[in-house]
A and B are shown apart, each in its own frame.
Chain A
């Protein structure tokens, strides 16, 4: 069963990125569960796979407008798709780093993969509910999705 500590670790990883890299903290929205069907997937997704004590995926998915503003605030002038992919990849990387720090000894955490669209490529374990945690930043909202056995 998913534990509060595990969820908090992933959430902290995400908010930590916003606080440090995006120069403006993000707030955590009201978390909920997706029981049936696929959880939300926006235009850009950074994903890590987890094995070991737990098995499944964790991903951060955000919209193009949100990433555009983030890039601008980070002083990036080239608002290209590559840069947006890099950005969600970095967020995933920070989540991964946080998870490694907190329970890396029991977990195997993959290198982040980045998807532009392509929600069909995100495969969640069967019969497992996903936890969706909205990450609100300025007027935008991204999602952190945690789907672990």
Chain B
């Protein structure tokens, strides 16, 4: 703001300036008049003083005449006359020349009263009179030397100085002594003196009066000045009061107008702040909230009291510390003078911030707030931040729901692609079994345990369940399930290797268990959708629907599998006649094909009698056959090149047969034409894995050697994969068979075949067992 840019104060500044100028003028006039007044006083005093001067001249003349008559010295009397004459003449000349006088200090003072017309006329007349008087005086003053004859004795000294009157009084009764002899010059002087004194007798009074008149005139002028001064002062004061009143009225009216306008603006602002939906407030440099804010802020922040609140305190209890710190850093950034506001706005971390309000009923109420910051500049510098807050919970929730639903749809699509190749019944059967297995795992976990032995005992039980899930998932090609189960097994192995165990060590297991439960639930949901889809298509087809429906049926029936030569093809009519075992056959085929593919081998699987497996053995037979088929492909069947070398077909033959034996129960045979059990290799591995000592190995007969493969932890695979390597599979077979009260037989001929023969008791005995 420039110095003359007075804004709203322009009026008052001008008014006060005018008032002061007016007062200055009054004071100046006052001062001038007061100065004149003192000049007049000096003039009166001067004129009264000078009014005596004509009398002094006259007295001096008389005294001079008296001396002359008495024969006394006349020098001093002559000098007195000269002096009186000069003084009066100077005074009169000053007065006549513009009313100038000299005051007591010798300064020249001009008396305006002397310049009036009347005074000038009067002075002129006075001057004339004086001039005439002067004509009489001059011959006297020109006298020099002695007026007496030279023979005359020395004149008597002059009497003591007396004033003119006394001198006259003295002179009058004392006539000149007859003895005085005047020289001719003396006589001329005497004559001039007589002439002077005669003239002076009348003139001195007139001249004295003239000066007294002048004095009276000045005094009158002075009185007039005084009156004028009084009027000016009274007038000035009245005018000043009127001016003040006018200023007051003017500003009172303006003030009222401004107040009304300001009240209206304030009310409008308040109306806006009361009704606006956004939370609005100002932040100062100390990050303190301003006193004006919108009412919506109360609802947004669930508080009434914002007095002396700082921004960090506003957020502190409703956002996590990390968010708070980010927010404060960001706000600090906004205070920088050289900040590009638009650019900074693009990185606003508070444009969708999650806040949590304490719920009186317990817990938190979560909302999403959107903060927007605008820099408020005043006089070119940053004065405040205007903060706008919106509750965008609904928008965010909708957006998140949409995003979640999209992500879920994407995840489901991925999952769908992974399970599309699996025959639905096999999948249903797997999901049921897996659910049972996982619940079993949870039950095992739930059994109270305090001692280490109790914890350790849980591991094997859990292992078997998870391994079964993994095996079946692998058989079905459910890679995602298989990987999760595999990770679970890894954790179990880790626990097995630990010297001591406690509940804390089992925490990773429950986390993985939870993950498996979740994943299987997703698979189940997808399966359910697939079945729904199948039914929908089937309905359309029966109603004369489209040919494309058959293709979906084929997918659902798993008929798009081309990797394997199928010995048995399941009836395509799903969900009606296909039993769980039909599903097992396909499962085994898929498994054999997948494992063969991963091992670069070829295999033909032949299944027989699996549809005759009693319900009581269904699960066990499935788990057992899965393990044995996988083992056969991984360990038994040779690679095609190796097989052709020994005159075998490139594709290995693998047979699974389930045969009822009447009261003797059931016989399950899994046989391959592979390389058979390699007894020496089994011994080596058993020694390597610490299952037996080298000495014991040397003592083992073939039957004992073959039994080693059923020991927990035995595997001849070089590395652990999802297909083999941990040595749990054969142990699982042994345990499953033992649990059912059955027996396992094993026959093998090196380079020719391996044959697992499992005997299971009749169902009744199985149930009884």
- The segment from B79-87, B358-366, B468-476 that touches chain A is B358-366
Contact between chains at B364 and A110 (CB < 8 Å)? yes
CA distance A35 to B358 in the complex (A): 28
Chain A hits for B354, CB < 8 A: 51-52
Say yes or no for A116: interface residue by CB 8 A criterion: no
Contact between chains at B362 and A33 (CB < 8 Å)? no
Contact between chains at B504 and A11 (CB < 8 Å)? yes
- The segment from A16-24, A64-72, A82-90, A129-137 that touches chain B is A129-137
16 further interface pairs, Cβ-Cβ under 8 Å (given A8-B507, A32-B446, A129-B517):
A1-B511, A11-B507, A28-B503, A29-B449, A29-B503, A30-B503, A31-B507, A32-B510, A33-B510, A49-B363, A105-B322, A108-B320, A110-B362, A123-B363, A133-B507, A141-B448
Say yes or no for A57: interface residue by CB 8 A criterion: yes
Residue from B362, B450, B513, B518 having most chain A Cβ neighbours under 10 A: B362
Contact between chains at B366 and A51 (CB < 8 Å)? yes
Contact between chains at A30 and B447 (CB < 8 Å)? yes
B: interface residue count bin? 35 or more
* Residue interface mask B505-521, A partner, CB < 8 A = 1: 01111110111011000
Please list 5 pairs of residues, one from A and one from B, whose beta carbons are closer than 8 Å in the complex, sorted by A's number: A1-B511, A30-B445, A33-B513, A105-B322, A108-B356
Residue of A nearest to B521 (CB): A127
Determine which of B364, B366, B458, B511 lies in contact with A30 in the assembled complex, contact meaning CB atoms within 8 Å: B458
Determine which of B320, B448, B514 lies in contact with A129 in the assembled complex, contact meaning CB atoms within 8 Å: B514
Contact between chains at B514 and A33 (CB < 8 Å)? yes
Residue of A nearest to B509 (CB): A31
- Shortest CB-to-CB span from A3 to chain B, Å, is 7
Say yes or no for A95: interface residue by CB 8 A criterion: no
A residues 115-133 touching B (CB-CB < 8 Å): 121, 123, 129, 131, 133
Say yes or no for B480: interface residue by CB 8 A criterion: no
CA distance A48 to B515 in the complex (A): 24
A-B interface, 8 closest residue pairs, ranked by CB to CB distance from nearest: A28-B503, A105-B322, A49-B363, A51-B364, A32-B446, A32-B445, A51-B356, A108-B356
Residue of A nearest to B512 (CB): A4
Chain B hits for A27, CB < 8 A: 450, 502-503
Contact between chains at B363 and A33 (CB < 8 Å)? no
Contact between chains at B514 and A31 (CB < 8 Å)? no
Asked whether A3 and B356 contact (CB < 8 A) given A51-B366, A105-B322, A133-B503, the answer is no
CA distance A107 to B319 in the complex (A): 8
Say yes or no for A2: interface residue by CB 8 A criterion: yes
Residue of B nearest to A132 (CB): B446
Chain A hits for B449, CB < 8 A: 29-30
Asked whether A30 and B448 contact (CB < 8 A) given A107-B320, A108-B320, A110-B363, the answer is yes
Say yes or no for B483: interface residue by CB 8 A criterion: no
Residue from B454, B458, B511 having most chain A Cβ neighbours under 10 A: B511
- Across chains A and B, the number of contacting residue pairs, with CB separation under 8 Å, is 104
Contact between chains at A2 and B514 (CB < 8 Å)? yes
Chain A hits for B450, CB < 8 A: 27, 29, 136
- Shortest CB-to-CB span from A51 to chain B, Å, is 4
Contact between chains at B511 and A7 (CB < 8 Å)? yes
B residues 356-389 touching A (CB-CB < 8 Å): 356, 358, 362-364, 366
Q: From DSSP, what is the main secondary structure of chain B's interface residues?
A: helix
Residue from B354, B503, B515, B518 having most chain A Cβ neighbours under 10 A: B503
Asked whether A131 and B502 contact (CB < 8 A) given A29-B448, A30-B449, A52-B320, the answer is no
CA distance A131 to B446 in the complex (A): 11
B residues 439-476 touching A (CB-CB < 8 Å): 442, 445-450, 454-455, 458
Say yes or no for A97: interface residue by CB 8 A criterion: no
Residue of A nearest to B443 (CB): A32
Contact between chains at A4 and B517 (CB < 8 Å)? no
Contact between chains at A104 and B448 (CB < 8 Å)? no
CA distance A110 to B320 in the complex (A): 11
Say yes or no for B615: interface residue by CB 8 A criterion: no
Asked whether A32 and B320 contact (CB < 8 A) given A11-B504, A51-B364, the answer is no
Say yes or no for B329: interface residue by CB 8 A criterion: no
Contact between chains at A131 and B510 (CB < 8 Å)? yes
Say yes or no for A76: interface residue by CB 8 A criterion: no
Residue of B nearest to A121 (CB): B362
CA distance A88 to B515 in the complex (A): 30
Chain B hits for A31, CB < 8 A: 445, 503, 506-507, 509-510
Say yes or no for A47: interface residue by CB 8 A criterion: yes
Say yes or no for B546: interface residue by CB 8 A criterion: no
Asked whether A134 and B448 contact (CB < 8 A) given A3-B511, A7-B511, A32-B510, the answer is yes
Residue from A4, A27, A31, A49 having most chain B Cβ neighbours under 10 A: A31
- Shortest CB-to-CB span from B502 to chain A, Å, is 6
Chain B hits for A29, CB < 8 A: 448-450, 503
Say yes or no for A106: interface residue by CB 8 A criterion: yes
Say yes or no for B138: interface residue by CB 8 A criterion: no
Say yes or no for B195: interface residue by CB 8 A criterion: no
B residues 577-598 touching A (CB-CB < 8 Å): none
Residue of B nearest to A55 (CB): B366
Contact between chains at B320 and A30 (CB < 8 Å)? no
Say yes or no for A113: interface residue by CB 8 A criterion: yes
CA distance A133 to B502 in the complex (A): 12
Chain B hits for A30, CB < 8 A: 445-449, 454-455, 458, 503, 506
Chain A hits for B507, CB < 8 A: 4, 7-8, 11, 31, 133
Say yes or no for B321: interface residue by CB 8 A criterion: yes
Contact between chains at B320 and A105 (CB < 8 Å)? yes
CA distance A47 to B502 in the complex (A): 25
CA distance A1 to B139 in the complex (A): 145
Contact between chains at A49 and B448 (CB < 8 Å)? no
CA distance A34 to B117 in the complex (A): 131
CA distance A123 to B320 in the complex (A): 23
- Shortest CB-to-CB span from B408 to chain A, Å, is 14
Determine which of B321, B362, B446, B508 lies in contact with A47 in the assembled complex, contact meaning CB atoms within 8 Å: B362
